[in-house]
Amino acid sequence: MAIDDEFEKQDLARELANGAQKTAEEIIVHSQIVGLISWFLPPSLLAVGAAVNAGFTQLANKRFYARLEEMRNGMHARLQEVGESKVDKDWFQSEEFQTMLFEAARQVTATADRKKIAMLGNALANGSIAGFSTESRKELFLQIIRDLTPQHIAMLRRLLPDDSMSTEIRWRARPTLAEKDEDLAVLQMLAANGLVTEFLKEAHVPVPRLSSYRSPSTSESAHALKQIVKGLKVPPKRMFRLGEFGRDFLDFVSFSRIPE
């Protein structure tokens, strides 16, 4: 029997689906979309605003359920990929799964990024897989997804180890990026979440080449000293690369499966 069929036939599946729907409705109500638009529009447009409010609320619901279904389909696809034998079905009855499901449902109300939705679906599926059964950071990983923007996701892709390399050297040879104005804010945010490690790379100080056959002249010595001092004045560069916590996070959300 397929995982989808067995999972959907359980009473728990219906309860979780109803709970997710109720949570979604509460989120939309609590966000007070109608009230926000009415407050935001000038009084002269309130008559128009009423029609806009109704249409916008209906559209917001439609978008939310479309995202929720996309996340669900992604979770099911991941379960099918790994195979039934590797899935701990009891995990779907756990409080941890329910907590993660409701958190993921909240997140899809605030993002239209399909990559993040795919990451959420993968995370919900991977929580049941044998390789992640002892992972104690599942909920933490899920919270980190919320803070990622498309720029952060693109940067993480740049920092991925090269799959074409052998397993022995792939991690040690992972990319290292130097700070740049346009990338610094993104890298610092990833470092703040622990996904990326930051370190300083000292500037290369050239060693003057002096003759070994004679003593250097005063001018040669002065020039060599000047070059050394000049090199020492160059500030170290801030460098960034994927950390072990970041590697574990990307594994948990099956980042390599997400299309660019």
Q: Structure pTM?
A: 0.73
> Would you state the pLDDT for residue 81?
93
Among all chains, which residue has been given the structure tokens 């067995």? 6
> Would you state the pLDDT for residue 257?
87
Counting runs of H as helices and runs of E as strands, what totals does the chain give?
12, 3
> Would you state the pLDDT for residue 30?
47
Interhelix angle for 11-31 vs 95-108, to 10°?
40
> Would you state the pLDDT for residue 236?
76
Query: Are 41 and 49 contacting, i.e. CB atoms less than 8 angstroms apart?
Result: yes
Domain boundaries, the chain: 3-147, 148-260
> Would you state the pLDDT for residue 174?
93
**Ramachandran angles phi, psi of 106, nearest 5°:** -65, -40
DSSP state of 29: H
Which candidate, 88, 127, 128, 123, places its Cα nearest to that of 107? 123
- Report how far residue 124's alpha carbon sits from residue 103's, in angstroms, rounded to the nearest whole number: 10
> Would you state the pLDDT for residue 22?
58
Q: What is the pLDDT along the chain (260 residues), one digit of tens a residue?
A: 555 555 555 555 555 555 555 555 555 554 545 555 556 656 665 555 555 566 666 777 788 889 999 999 999 999 999 998 899 989 998 999 999 999 999 999 888 899 999 999 999 999 999 889 889 999 999 999 999 999 999 999 999 999 888 888 999 999 999 888 778 999 999 999 999 999 987 766 566 665 565 566 667 666 666 766 666 666 778 899 999 999 999 999 999 888 88
Question: Residue 65 corresponds to which tokens in the numbers above?
Answer: 């359920």
Q: What is the DSSP string of 213-258?
A: SSPPPHHHHHHHHHHHHHHHTSPPEEEEEE-HHHHHHHHHTTGGGS
